[in-house]
Structure 1
Amino acid sequence: MKFDKPTVKGKILKRYKRFLADIELENGEIVVAHSANTGSMTTCWEPGWDVLLTKNDDPARKLKYTLEYTHNGETWIGVNTALPNKMVIEAIENGTIKELQGYDTIKPEAKIGKSRIDVLLTKDNGEQCYVEVKNTTLLHEGDAVFPDAVTERGQKHLRELTELKQQGIRACMVYVINRNDVAKFRPAGHIDAEYAKLLQQAHKVGVEIIPYMAKLEPSGLELTHSIPYLI
């Protein structure tokens, strides 16, 4: 997917209040950018790292800049958690995610009980596949791991997918690996032991784990290929 707004480079000075970041632009101006990421962003930024922002001049917006990428000197890291769902839908539509082909309709934000699952795929014969998407940016011992903070919401999603699979409905976890300096994916049991346990249980009953690498460029980002995982 291509960015539909102009991009601007700068350096991150600090991140605070979860959703704000002070950025020094190339012209020396310091701006406050929206950081659309509820996680800790551990291993995703340090003061002085290069960043890529998008700029939105809509007068209704309080903050004109959005933090899209950071750069650790080796790779861009996609930190905008609003993008992975769109990336996955695009990659299903263009055939990149081979594991999720053969469906006739794609529905984002599908309701299931009192919750929502990111994507519902349906065949004309009624066969369904529920897909939950997670942005994965934490680097640990050379691997991409998730989550980067304890996530009760993520635990809930795994329980829901496990229940769906036990009912005979296909269920998948797609992990968008939004950095290129990793070899494989695994759960971050050292951060959220309950999430790691639930992922193991989900995998055991047949919930599919699908980690896909993202290619990040200043013009946009896209999924390219699957990578191995270890549960």
Structure 2
Amino acid sequence: MLLPTLCQTGILVKRYQRFLADVLLEDGQTLTVHCPNSGSMRGCSTPGSEVVISRSDNSKRKYAWTLEMVREQGVWIGVHTGRTNHLVREGLESGVIDDFGSIRMITPEVVVSEKSRLDFLLETEQGRVYLEVKNCSLVENGIAFFPDAVTTRGAKHIHELVRLAEAGFGAAVLFCVQRGDADRCKPAAHIDRVYAETVAWAMSQGVRFLAYRADVQPQAIRISQKMPFSLF
């Protein structure tokens, strides 16, 4: 996935109010940009870090620029969660993500109940598979963790997947690790114990949990390889 043509680098001054960040540009100007990430951004929002921002061509936006990635300890980290599904879809279509066999059709944003929708419905040779995608940007000691903050919404999606698995459909969660310094992935029980317990329960009910690492560079991001996922 190529990033927008209108991109530039800067230095992160601070991230605040969840969806805003101040960035210092090379010319000395400080720019307020949109931060498209609802998590804590633990480990990828240190003031003084190099960042990449992109400019939108939507004239109606209050903040024209968007935070795309942050560089921490020499590692580029994708923090724009709105791009995660696009990345995963590219990986599915290219065959880099090959856990579901031959895929005949991919439908995004599928309504599965009155108040819930999941990221993808995959029509495969083995039948329907419902897939929820999670962006993972937190790494500690070489381990990618999700979530980076307590998430009741994430647990709700898992309950929906268990219900679908019980109905005979395929059900899976895919963690997209948007940084290159992790070699495995696991639920962040030290941050959200309930979520980690929900993952363990869902695994016992037939929901699959997968992790893939993305190669994150200032010009482009792409899914590169599968990573081990474990509870412990």
TM-score after normalising by structure 1 = 0.96
Letter in 1 for 2:122: L
- For 2:29, the equivalent position in structure 1 comes to 29
- For 2:119, the equivalent position in structure 1 comes to 118
Deviation at 1:197, TM superposition (A): 0.5
SS at match of 2:14: strand
Whether the 8 Å contact between 1:184 and 1:228 is mirrored in structure 2 is yes
- For 1:19, the equivalent position in structure 2 comes to 19
Whether the 8 Å contact between 1:105 and 1:121 is mirrored in structure 2 is yes
Q: How many residues align?
A: 230
Residues 35-114 of structure 1 mapped to structure 2, 5 A cutoff: 35-114=35-114
Whether the 8 Å contact between 2:101 and 2:125 is mirrored in structure 1 is no
SS at match of 1:82: helix
Whether the 8 Å contact between 1:14 and 1:22 is mirrored in structure 2 is yes
Whether the 8 Å contact between 1:74 and 1:181 is mirrored in structure 2 is no
Letter in 2 for 1:142: G
TM-score after normalising by structure 2 = 0.96
Task: Please list every run of 5 or more consecutive structure 1 residues that lacks an aligned counterpart in the other structure.
Answer: none
For 1:44 and 1:26, the matched residues in 2 are separated by 21
For 2:210 and 2:157, the matched residues in 1 are separated by 15
For 2:164 and 2:59, the matched residues in 1 are separated by 44
Deviation at 1:124, TM superposition (A): 7.3
Whether the 8 Å contact between 1:178 and 1:213 is mirrored in structure 2 is yes
For 1:58 and 1:109, the matched residues in 2 are separated by 23
Whether the 8 Å contact between 1:19 and 1:38 is mirrored in structure 2 is yes
- For 2:204, the equivalent position in structure 1 comes to 204
For 2:7 and 2:110, the matched residues in 1 are separated by 32
- For 2:163, the equivalent position in structure 1 comes to 163
For 1:5 and 1:207, the matched residues in 2 are separated by 39
Deviation at 1:138, TM superposition (A): 1.1
Deviation at 1:42, TM superposition (A): 0.5
- Give the root-mean-square deviation of aligned CA atoms: 1.3
Letter in 2 for 1:122: E
Whether the 8 Å contact between 1:3 and 1:219 is mirrored in structure 2 is yes
SS at match of 1:171: strand
Task: Please list every run of 5 or more consecutive structure 2 residues that lacks an aligned counterpart in the other structure.
Answer: none
Letter in 1 for 2:222: E
Deviation at 1:100, TM superposition (A): 2.8
- For 2:183, the equivalent position in structure 1 comes to 183
- For 2:223, the equivalent position in structure 1 comes to 223
- For 1:8, the equivalent position in structure 2 comes to 8
Letter in 2 for 1:120: L
Question: Structure 1: which 4+ aligned runs deviate by more than 4 Å?
Answer: none
Deviation at 1:64, TM superposition (A): 1.1
